[in-house]
């Protein structure tokens, strides 16, 4: 009995030590700037920026490989915040600030080709081959990927209507003083 307990204790200590060494050797160094930039992005991982998720977009921003206008759904407010953090100046006068949108499928135009379902990374579209497709509004984050592939123009991007649950105070403008 004592021998079994002793050997298990030794094995436990040895494995714990090995795991500790492995954790140190294989540790991935985190870039604090990347983390800060990631926190400034919406976090919906919609892919409109061309990167697979907000984390990779933040990594590209930190390396100077992506412009501060990289995030379309973030609009001008996010672009300004990123520019301030990175200490760069950006001309945002032509930057379109569309606001949140969702996709809507016109049933008469849908031929059930399934192209939109394959594009949607958040499973917000329901449908089957040669059947009408429909978007679940609550799941759609407005990336417009489905809109771009529909061969019959059945998909429209619509503005998210303001309701008590979607309305929020606008962020203060840069340099604005509060009275
Ligand atoms: S891509 Fe357009 S036509 Fe094809 S299933 Fe989707 S909505 Fe219908
Ligand atoms: S339904 Fe269309 S717009 Fe909405 S998340 Fe899916 S692909 Fe993007």
Comparing C-alpha atoms, which of 132, 109, 127 is closest to residue 117? 127
150 shares a domain with 105: yes
pLDDT of amino acid 166: 66
In a domain, 174, yes or no: no
Comparing C-alpha atoms, which of 65, 69, 78 is closest to residue 39? 78
111 shares a domain with 81: no
DSSP 26: T
Q: Is 75's C-beta closer than 6 angstroms to any atom of ligand 2? A: no
Q: Is 105's C-beta closer than 6 angstroms to any atom of ligand 1? A: yes
| Domain final residue, candidates 61, 86, 111 | 86
CA of 155, nearest ligand number: 1
Tell me the two tokens of residue 107.
């049933």
In a domain, 45, yes or no: yes
CATH code for position 144: 3.30.70.20
pLDDT of amino acid 114: 97
Tens of pLDDT, residues 95-148: 777 777 899 999 999 999 999 999 998 899 999 999 999 999 988 888 888 999
User: Into how many domains does the chain fold?
Assistant: 2
72 shares a domain with 115: no
Comparing C-alpha atoms, which of 137, 143, 118 is closest to residue 50? 143
| Domain final residue, candidates 60, 86, 112 | 86
155 shares a domain with 105: yes
Tens of pLDDT, residues 13-58: 778 777 777 777 666 667 899 999 999 998 877 777 878 889 999 9
Q: Domain containing 114: what range? A: 101-159
CATH code for position 79: 1.10.15.40
For residues 99 and 159, the answer to whether their CB atoms sit within 8 Å is yes
Instruction: Please give the Cα distance from 108 to 156 (Å, whole number).
Output: 13
For residues 100 and 73, the answer to whether their CB atoms sit within 8 Å is yes
In a domain, 80, yes or no: yes
105 shares a domain with 61: no
Q: Which atom of ligand 2 is the closest one to the Cα of 103?
A: 3
Q: Is 156's C-beta closer than 6 angstroms to any atom of ligand 1? A: no
Q: Is 82's C-beta closer than 6 angstroms to any atom of ligand 1? A: no
- What is the helix (H) or strand (E) element at residue 83, kind and residue range? helix 75-86
pTM: 0.62
Instruction: Please give the Cα distance from 85 to 37 (Å, whole number).
Output: 8
């Amino acid at each position: 009995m004592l021998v079994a307990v002793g050997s298990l204790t030794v094995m436990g200590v040895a494995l714990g030590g090995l795991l500790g060494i492995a954790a140190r050797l294989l540790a991935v160094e985190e870039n604090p700037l990347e983390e800060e930039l990631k926190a400034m992005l919406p976090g919906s991982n919609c892919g409109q920026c061309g990167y697979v998720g907000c984390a990779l977009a933040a990594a590209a921003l930190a390396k100077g490989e992506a412009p501060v206008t990289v995030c379309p759904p973030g609009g001008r407010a996010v672009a300004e915040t990123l520019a301030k953090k990175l200490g760069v100046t950006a001309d945002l006068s032509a930057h379109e600030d569309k606001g949140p949108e969702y996709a809507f499928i016109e049933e008469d135009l849908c031929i059930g080709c399934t192209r939109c379902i394959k594009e949607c990374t958040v499973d917000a579209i329901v449908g089957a081959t040669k059947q009408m497709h429909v978007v679940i509004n609550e799941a759609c984050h407005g990336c417009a990927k489905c809109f771009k592939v529909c061969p019959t123009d059945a998909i429209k991007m619509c503005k998210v209507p303001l309701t008590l649950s979607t309305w929020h105070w606008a962020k203060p403008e840069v340099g604005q003083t509060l009275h």
